[in-house]
Amino acid sequence: MEMREAFEKNILTRLDDRTEAAKERYLNRLERVKRLRTIDGKETWNAFDGDLLDYFDAGSHWINLRGIGGYDVDKLKKEMSRRLELIHALGKKMLMLDLMGQGRACVQLGADKVFTTGLMKFNSRYSNVEQVIGDALSDEKTAELYNKIIDAERNENYSLQVILFRPVGGLSISSMNLYVFRTLYKRLQELYDLLDDGGLIFISTIGSDLDTELLEAMLRATGCEDILLTSPKRGKLGIRKSASKHSRLPSELEAARATPGLIEQLMKMDDEDRMIPND
């Protein structure tokens, strides 16, 4: 047992070292993207302003979450309508989270309040949409977002019911980057804790289909297949929280022990060949 623990500690230390290098690459490339998207001193990058059809309609050319768990626009609207009625009957209000989006789809689903994240401020047409501006992977912005969610749940009687999990949006620089993958899994664990029982998480392609497929393999290997919402399309995945089945998502070490070859795959992650916008 002591030898195993020493071996695991050594592997995790090496993984942490590689993660720091990957983080530096991510941040450097993020700054380059910002420069390339700056015109006359103003950043032109914006969070995705998609409506419900853009997210869940079969004909959408955008981030299409249709099919995850069998959900399309009609099915999701009907379920949210029933859930909203129940939540209001309990004297609560419905909260949703749109990571790297502008929250329009969540408003259309009936959310009483929506928190969004994005690299720059946008002019929202909705008074119940509140923005957290900056890199959604950073500890600082994550803490700001979580504080808002916890305050809404504890002090304003909100119930977090839906999360559109796209923390890095369309940043192709994020694909198969060790820092991004490990950080997003940590964020997914934390958001699962904040989500109310029965709540839904719709996960779009994190950066490439391989990222999401690896995430699904980790969750299946640790016995979480009973809360997974699968999709016929690659790079799409969902989770329905069930506290009775899984009070939390497995730790990274638990996933590593259960998933054959996981550490090797993580150690080989690299983003050097990913696309970034042209000058």
pLDDT digits (tens, 9 = 90+) for 122-142: 888 899 999 999 888 899 999
Residue 273 forms part of a structural domain: no
Residue 276 forms part of a structural domain: no
pLDDT digits (tens, 9 = 90+) for 199-255: 999 998 655 566 788 899 999 999 999 999 998 888 889 999 999 999 999 999 899
Per DSSP, what are the bridge partners of residue 229?
238
pTM over 0.85? The answer is: yes
Which of 98, 77, 80 is CA-nearest to residue 88? 80
If you compute the radius of gyration of the chain from its CA atoms, what whole number of angstroms results? 19
The CATH number of residue 85's host domain is 3.40.50.150
Least confident among 43-57, 76-90, 149-163, 183-197: 43-57
Give the pLDDT mean for 17-23. 92
Alpha-carbon gap, residue 141 to 11, rounded angstroms: 29
Please count the structural domains in the chain: 1
The per-type count for the chain, helices as H runs and strands as E runs, is 9, 9
Per DSSP, what are the bridge partners of residue 115?
97, 130
Range of the domain at 19: 2-268
